Amino acid sequence: MTREESIIELGAWLQTAPGRYLLAWEQDRLDHAVTDAFGFHALQLGLPELEGLRANRMPHRWVASDSLIVPEALPLPPADPSLTTQPAPESVALHCEFDALPFPNASIDLVVLPHALELARDPHQTLREVERVLVPEGRVVIAGFNPASLWGLRQRLGRMKRGMGLGREKSLYLPRAGEFIGYWRLRDWLRLLGFEVEAGRFGCWRPPVTTEPWLERYAWMDRVGDRWWPVLGGVYFLVAVKRVRGMRLVGLARQERRKLGAAPAVATNRRREAAELQTELET
- Segment among 12-16, 132-136, 240-244, 272-276 with least mean pLDDT: 272-276
Alpha-carbon distance values, 67 to 93, 114, 131, 215 (Å): 12, 15, 22, 32
Q: What pTM, to 2 d.p., does this model score?
A: 0.81
Return the closest-CA partner of residue 172 out of 184, 164, 162, 180: 162
pLDDT over threshold 60, residue 59:
yes
pLDDT over threshold 80, residue 276:
no
Q: Is residue 266 part of a domain?
A: no
β-sheet bridge partners, residue 70: none
Q: What percent of the chain has pLDDT over 70?
A: 82
**Mean of per-residue pLDDT scores for the chain:** 84
pLDDT for 193-246, tens place per residue?
A: 999 999 999 999 999 999 999 999 999 999 998 888 888 899 999 999 999 875
Map residue 39 onto helix, strand or coil. coil
pLDDT over threshold 50, residue 263:
no
CB atoms within 10 A of CB 19: 18
* Phi-psi label, residue 232: left if phi above 0, alpha if psi -120 to 50, beta otherwise: alpha
pLDDT over threshold 90, residue 164:
no
Q: Is residue 91 part of a domain?
A: yes
C-alpha 176/C-alpha 119 separation (Å) is: 10
Q: Is residue 274 part of a domain?
A: no
The boundaries of the domain holding residue 137 are 3-249
Q: Is residue 272 part of a domain?
A: no
Residue 142's domain is classified under what CATH number?
3.40.50.150
Q: How confident is the model at residue 262 (pLDDT cuts 50, 70, 90)?
A: very low
Q: Is residue 280 part of a domain?
A: no
Radius of gyration, alpha carbons of the chain = 19
Q: In what order do the strands lie in the sheet with 195-203?
A: 94-95, 60-65, 41-45, 108-114, 134-145, 235-242, 195-203
Q: Is residue 228 part of a domain?
A: yes
Tally of domains in the chain: 1
- Alpha helices, DSSP H only, in 193-263? 212-217, 220-228, 248-260
Q: Is residue 282 part of a domain?
A: no
Q: Is residue 257 part of a domain?
A: no
pLDDT for 102-159, tens place per residue?
A: 999 999 999 999 999 988 889 999 999 999 999 999 999 999 999 999 999 999 888 8
